[in-house]
Amino acid sequence: MDRRRPRARALGFLLALAGATTVLAADAPAPPLRAMSWIPRDADAVRAFSSQPTECLKVPSDPAAARSVEIGRAAFRTPVLLGGQAARAGLACESCHRAGRGNPDFQFPGASGAPGTADVTLSLFSSHRGNGVFDPKPIPDLSGPRERLKVASPDLPRFIRGLVVEEFDGHEPPPAVLAGLADYVRALSPAACPAGRDSEPVSAHGLLDDARRAVAAARTAIEDGDRPTAVLMVASARARLFLIDERYAALPAERARVRAADAGLAELQGLIREGRPDAATALARWPAASRELEARLTARRGASLFDPDRLRTATNRRLPPKTS
C-alpha cells in the first residue's frame, strides 16, 4: 500500500475546509453540516447528528473541583485547544469523544481506517509524533470502565498535554485548562450515565447551555486573574454557536441573530485580552441575552436542520450520489 496516499487525501480535505474552492472533489458540494465529512458515506447521518450520547458526568461537590471540571468540559469542546491543522478542520476532543464518550461513526479522510478509529501518529497533524505509518486505532469511550483506559488517573495531565502539544501541534494549554481537562476526564464515569437514557436530541438549547457554561467558566477564570483560560472558555462558547449557525443556514434572520451573539462574544474576548475591568460584568450579561436568542431559535426549530426531516432532505439533496 502507498502510505502517502491517505495523508494526501487528508491534506486536500483540510485545505478545502480552510477555504479552498473544492471539497473532496470539484463536483462534490459541501454537506449541510461540516462534521458530516467525518463519517462513512453509508452511515445514517440523520441518526448521527439528530441525537448524541448522554453525558456521563459526575460533577464534584467541592466548588473548586467543580469549577475545574467546567473549565475542562469547555476546553474539550473547542477546536482552538488543538490548534494547527486540526483546529482549521474544526476538530475538537469532542469530535472523537462525543459527550465525553466515543464516536463509532468517526472516519476522518486519511486519518481513520474503519469507522470509529483514528491514527494518532499522523504526520499531517503532528510534527512531533508522526511516524510515517498509517496505523489507526479504535477510539476509546472515555466514560467506559476505568480499567479499559490505558492511562492511569495520576498520569492524565501529562498524557493530555502530549495529545495537545505533540499529537496535534497545539499551543501549550494554560495550567488551569490542562488541570481541568484531566479533572473532566476523571469525572466521567459509567456510574454517572443517566438511567435508561443512552442518547438525547441535539438542540439549540443544549448547545447554548454549553455556551453559557463556558461563559461561566470564563468568569471564574477572570476572577482568578487567568486571562488565557478565560479567552479559551469564550472560544468554546463561540464554537457552540458555530454548530447552531450551520443548522440555520436557510433562515437568514435567525442566522443573523446567532452571528450577532458570536460577534458579542468576540468583543468580549478582546476585553479579556486587554485586561479590561468591565470584562467580567459584560460576560455576566451574556447568558441572559442568550435566553432570548434561544427562544427565537426554538420557535423556528422546525424549519432548521435541528429537525430530523429537514436534515434528511438537506443531506440527500446536497451530498453527491454514491458510486459503486
Q: Tell which residue, 115, 224, 130, 221, has the closest CA to residue 169.
A: 130
Strand segments (E) across 208-299:
none
b/e code 55-90 from CB counts within 10 Å (16+ = b):
bbbeeeeeeeeebbbbbbbbbbbbbbbbbbbbbebb
pLDDT at 16: 36
Query: Can you tell me the distance from the alpha carbon of 90 to that of 35, in angstroms, rounded to the nearest whole number?
Result: 8
Q: Long-range CB contacts (< 8 A, 24+ apart) of 281-289?
A: 283/215, 283/218, 283/219, 283/222, 283/234, 284/219, 286/212, 286/215, 287/212, 287/215, 287/216, 289/261, 289/264
Phi, psi of 201 (to 5 degrees): -65, 145
pLDDT at 130: 52
Cβ neighbours of 34 (radius 10 Å): 15
Domains of the chain by start residue, with CATH = 54-192 (1.10.760), 203-308 (1.20.120)
Query: Can you tell me the distance from the alpha carbon of 302 to that of 180, in angstroms, rounded to the nearest whole number?
Result: 37
Query: Can you tell me the distance from the alpha carbon of 220 to that of 223, in angstroms, rounded to the nearest whole number?
Result: 5
Strand partners, 52: 200
b/e code 232-257 from CB counts within 10 Å (16+ = b):
bbbbbbbbbbbbbbbbbeebeebbeb
Whether residue 186 contacts residue 156, with contact meaning beta carbons closer than 8 Å, is answered with yes
pLDDT at 265: 97
Distances, alpha carbon 192 to alpha carbons 52, 94, 145, 196, in Å: 16, 18, 11, 12
Phi, psi of 82 (to 5 degrees): -80, -35
Low-confidence stretches of the chain (pLDDT beneath 50): 1-26, 123-124, 126-127, 319, 324
Whether residue 91 contacts residue 82, with contact meaning beta carbons closer than 8 Å, is answered with yes
Q: Tell which residue, 198, 193, 213, has the closest CA to residue 69.
A: 213
pLDDT at 28: 58
Q: Tell which residue, 205, 185, 189, 249, has the closest CA to residue 52.
A: 205
Grid coordinates in use for 64?
Answer: 473548586
Whether residue 244 contacts residue 204, with contact meaning beta carbons closer than 8 Å, is answered with yes
pLDDT at 316: 86
pLDDT at 131: 55
* Rounded to 5°, angle at Cα 132 from 128 and 135: 100
pTM: 0.86
C-alpha neighbours within 13 Å on the C-beta side of residue 140: 13
Cell numbers 454537506 correspond to 31
Phi, psi of 92 (to 5 degrees): -125, 175
What is the Cα 284 distance to its own chain's centre? Answer: 24
pLDDT tens per residue, range 56-76: 999 999 999 999 999 999 999
